[in-house]
Amino acid sequence: MRYVLAVLVEDKPGVLVRVAGLFSRRGYNIESLAVGKTVEPMVSRMTIEVEADEKILEQIIKQLYKLINVLKVSNLTQEPSVDRELVLIKVSADVGNRAEIQQIVETFRAKIVDVALNSIIIEVTGNQEKIEAITMLLSQYTILEVVRTGKIAILRGSKTIK
Amino acid sequence: MKMSGIQIVVEALKKELVDTVFCYPGGTSDNVVNQLTEADIRFVMYCHEQGAAHAADGYARATGKPGIVFSTSGPGSTSLVTGIATAYMDSVPMVIFTGHGMSANSVNDAYKDVDVFSITLPITKHSTVVESVSDLPRTIREAFHLATTGRCGPVLIDLPIHVQMDIGIFRYPKNIYMRGYNPVYNCHPGQVNKVAKVLAQANKPVIYAGGGIIYSGAHEELRQFAEKFSIPVTTTLMGLSGFPTGHPLALGMLGMHGTYWANMAVNEADVIIAAGARFDDRVTGRKSDFAKDATIIHVDIDPAEIGKNVRADIPIVGDIKQVLTQLLKKPGPENTEPWLAKINEWRRCAPMRYCQDADGEICPQFVIEQIYEQTEGKALITTEVGQHQMWTAQYYKFNKPRSFASSGGLGTMGYGFPASIGVQLGCPDDVVFCIAGDGSFQMNIRELATAVKYCLPVKVAIINNQHLGLVRQWQEMFFHSRYSSVVLQKGSPDFVKLAEAYGALGLRAQKPSEVIPVLQKALSTPGPVVIDFRVKTGENVFPMVPPNCPINEMVTTAK
């Protein structure tokens, strides 16, 4: 099963390599990882998507807590939360199919952020299903390149992770 | 008070009551060595950084105090790696200082520059590259705190030259707060009650005690607990010396080379109390078959150990000493007599035995038993890794905690001898014996120079079967006796002459009748002694659980 973890870490040198190293040496699969600063100075937040069973997930959380720079690990998978990912997709397009692609983009409430003679870049924000759906539709044209930020997630309501 | 970074390090060591540091000097650690000479801290110089790291580890295991290591940058720090990994696997408290070139980062691939921070990430409890002299006092305070609390382990501090030279203010923090580090010592009372309930119903309980018993200082509580409820105790390799081997309730070691009765007891137990142990594959054999019918209670200070290898029916996170103290006040099993009788039957049907023929070759087990006899059981023992290590675990009687140091988790050949020097430094009044193999002793044999230089009277007993015995045994048993790279006869030095070359005493025993006199001679010699015990070459370690078999399927004797 795929789980989403929110991991608060101290913003210290090497903290990313500690977390990444833990996953790689214990053979845990990272599906995506996004890191950024939080409102609290010197504290960063990682959103990590992992593919694991329940037993492995328990180990992942415990092993993360063993890292001194890890402050808090929250499993958001079952919690009511909002999750998003931003994707930039470069599609081969010319005057012949640009309008068609534009229609798909509008339907998904995505954005065209760059147009060139033979290509366009589309920015999509959304959850995984939406991104998969638009990618599937765009694949009928030639997708030249895809960049994804990895998922970020936040709890709904006033509850916070501190 | 204003002072240089290096003076800050030395002042901090004084605050931490450090009396001994283990080091090898070099360009980026010369300053420290200079300062240490002025402070009242003994620094012991080894022949190789690996030796220094193992010695600090041995010192820590014998004394309970953290082992302190200094090395220079580059090869100085990479040579520590095996020593750090050994300590990490066995949860040994150490604080390691590595020198570093001008910058905190390896930007220019400077001379003797290596990214020791990254190299040691997976084998340290924590590590820090100090970027400013103002961070230094707190970083050191935190390192000592981390190394010696919770599940202990090695902590590394990388010190760039500029931090060593810069002038800073020495204010050593009394209290520290680390938001991401809060080891749990106090166990949950609800869990203790659950355990008591299960124990009260238990008919066939077994305590499976690991190194945590020794680290927690819980040996006395363990003895009281076992005696109060007549529960038999088996220990892991790391747990040896945590429960007296000669005790009527002692089952000896369990696992691959454990006693038959310990393994049978664990296999048939209805309740297993795992205390400070981690269900290593050498203990459990095939995991899916391990203690299938038992309720497993797992006590550990490290929450990540619980459920990692084997299911825990009742987990208790906390300090074992506290947990056992709580359990002592609760009800326990009512009558374990039939169970103990059953275990004694197993004991009778496959006893530990060897046959020392008076006119034959020396049996390795006989040498180990005689070391116990001749030292009246008072010696502190270290071992290398291999058959001699397993025979020591099987045949030596350990009576007091911290009297045994061996690389359990990593299985580091080359650990035992430098470690014995560290043990001797920590316990100058004790007799220290390193039981070694002829293969493993050679891995760090150069530290004979250290033992001689500092007049440390360690005794090395080489169980010399002229083979890498354990590998030979596996090739015999699992590779149809097709031997490869296990014969050491050719190319091995004359250990007696070698000892003499270093300025130590070298002795040799070739017949059983020579074993006792040679040991007596070694014990009456004030300096370091190396004894070459020429033992039977084909002797195997039995009983044995073949790899990935259930632990009740033991091979008890040679075919």
Co-location of B393 and B516 in the same domain = yes
Q: What ipTM was assigned to the predicted interfaces of this complex?
A: 0.91
Lowest mean pLDDT among B161-165, B511-515, B519-523: B161-165
Q: How far is CA B207 from CA B69, B298, B402, B431, in A?
A: 36, 10, 19, 31
Asked if B304 and A67 come within 8 Å (Cβ–Cβ), the reply is no
Spatial separation of the C-alpha atoms in residues B81 and A106, rounded to whole Å: 57
Are the C-beta atoms of residues A49 and A12 closer than 8 Å to each other? Answer: no
Co-location of B344 and B369 in the same domain = no
Give the per-residue pLDDT at B103: 67
Spatial separation of the C-alpha atoms in residues B69 and B93, rounded to whole Å: 11
Give the per-residue pLDDT at A124: 97
Co-location of B98 and B57 in the same domain = yes
Exposure of A46 in the CB half-sphere (CA atoms within 13 A) = 25
Establish if A53 touches chain B: CB-CB under 8 angstroms. Answer: no
Co-location of B395 and B530 in the same domain = yes
Co-location of B316 and B415 in the same domain = no
Give the per-residue pLDDT at B106: 64
What A126-134 contacts at long range (C-beta under 8 Å, 24+ apart), as own/partner pairs, is: A126/A84, A126/A85, A127/A83, A127/A84, A127/A85, A128/A83, A128/A85, A131/A85, A131/A87, A133/A108, A134/A89, A134/A104, A134/A105, A134/A108, A134/A110
Asked if B179 and A17 come within 8 Å (Cβ–Cβ), the reply is no
User: Which of A25, A65, A69 lies closest to B122 in CB terms?
Assistant: A25
Co-location of B153 and B234 in the same domain = no
Q: How far A55 CA lies from chain B's nearest CA (Å)?
A: 8
Establish if B118 touches chain A: CB-CB under 8 angstroms. Answer: yes
Give the per-residue pLDDT at B95: 98
Give the per-residue pLDDT at B559: 57
* Mean confidence (pLDDT) of chain B: 95
Asked if B307 and A58 come within 8 Å (Cβ–Cβ), the reply is yes
Q: How far is CA B56 from CA B26, B43, B217, B422, in A?
A: 18, 11, 20, 6
* Closest CA relative to residue A120, chosen from A137, A99, A136: A99
Are the C-beta atoms of residues B121 and A18 closer than 8 Å to each other? Answer: yes
Q: Do the domain assignments include residue B551?
A: no
pLDDT, one tens digit per residue, over B450-480 is 999 999 999 999 999 999 999 999 999 999 9
pLDDT, one tens digit per residue, over B375-415 is 999 999 999 999 999 999 999 999 999 999 999 999 999 99
Residue A100: count other Cβ atoms within 10 Å of its Cβ. Answer: 12
Q: Do the domain assignments include residue B42?
A: yes
Asked if B122 and A21 come within 8 Å (Cβ–Cβ), the reply is yes
- CATH of residue B228: 3.40.50.1220
Are the C-beta atoms of residues B301 and B318 closer than 8 Å to each other? Answer: yes
| Segment B140-163 mean pLDDT | 96
Co-location of B157 and B211 in the same domain = no
Domain assignment of residue B138, given as a range: 2-169
Spatial separation of the C-alpha atoms in residues B238 and B212, rounded to whole Å: 8
Asked if A69 and B180 come within 8 Å (Cβ–Cβ), the reply is yes
| Segment A40-53 mean pLDDT | 96
B337-355 b/e with 16+ CB inside 10 Å = b? eebbebbeebbeebebeee
| Domain total of chain B | 3
Residues of A in contact with B307 (CB under 8 A): 55, 58-59
| Segment B342-367 mean pLDDT | 94
The three-state DSSP-derived secondary structure of B353-371 is CCCCCCCCCECHHHHHHHH
Q: Do the domain assignments include residue B544?
A: no
B36's tokens: 């240490």
Most A CBs within 10 A among B116, B117, B176, B179, hence the mutation to make, goes to B179
Co-location of B277 and B411 in the same domain = no
Most A CBs within 10 A among B91, B116, B121, hence the mutation to make, goes to B121
Number of A:B CB contacts under 8 A?
40
Asked if A59 and B308 come within 8 Å (Cβ–Cβ), the reply is yes
With bands split at pLDDT 50, 70 and 90, how would you rate the model's confidence at B32? confident
Ordered structural domains, chain A, with CATH: 2-75 (3.30.70.260), 82-152 (3.30.70.1150)
Q: Do the domain assignments include residue B181?
A: no
Residues of B in contact with A59 (CB under 8 A): 304, 307-308
Exposure of B280 in the CB half-sphere (CA atoms within 13 A) = 22
Asked if B125 and A69 come within 8 Å (Cβ–Cβ), the reply is no
* Closest CA relative to residue B20, chosen from B46, B53, B42: B42
Co-location of B398 and B280 in the same domain = no
Rounded percentage of chain A residues whose pLDDT exceeds 90? 94
Alpha helix positions (H), chain A: 15-25, 54-66, 98-107, 128-138
- CATH of residue B369: 3.40.50.970
Q: Do the domain assignments include residue B552?
A: no
Give the per-residue pLDDT at B49: 96
Residue B407: count other Cβ atoms within 10 Å of its Cβ. Answer: 30
Co-location of B45 and B165 in the same domain = yes
| Minimal-distance CA residue of chain A relative to B304 | A62
Residue B3: count other Cβ atoms within 10 Å of its Cβ. Answer: 16
Co-location of B304 and B271 in the same domain = yes
Spatial separation of the C-alpha atoms in residues A149 and A127, rounded to whole Å: 12
Q: Do the domain assignments include residue B183?
A: no
Give the per-residue pLDDT at B35: 80
Are the C-beta atoms of residues A130 and A105 closer than 8 Å to each other? Answer: no
Asked if A17 and B118 come within 8 Å (Cβ–Cβ), the reply is yes
pLDDT, one tens digit per residue, over B178-217 is 999 999 999 999 999 999 999 999 999 999 999 999 999 9
Are the C-beta atoms of residues B307 and A63 closer than 8 Å to each other? Answer: no
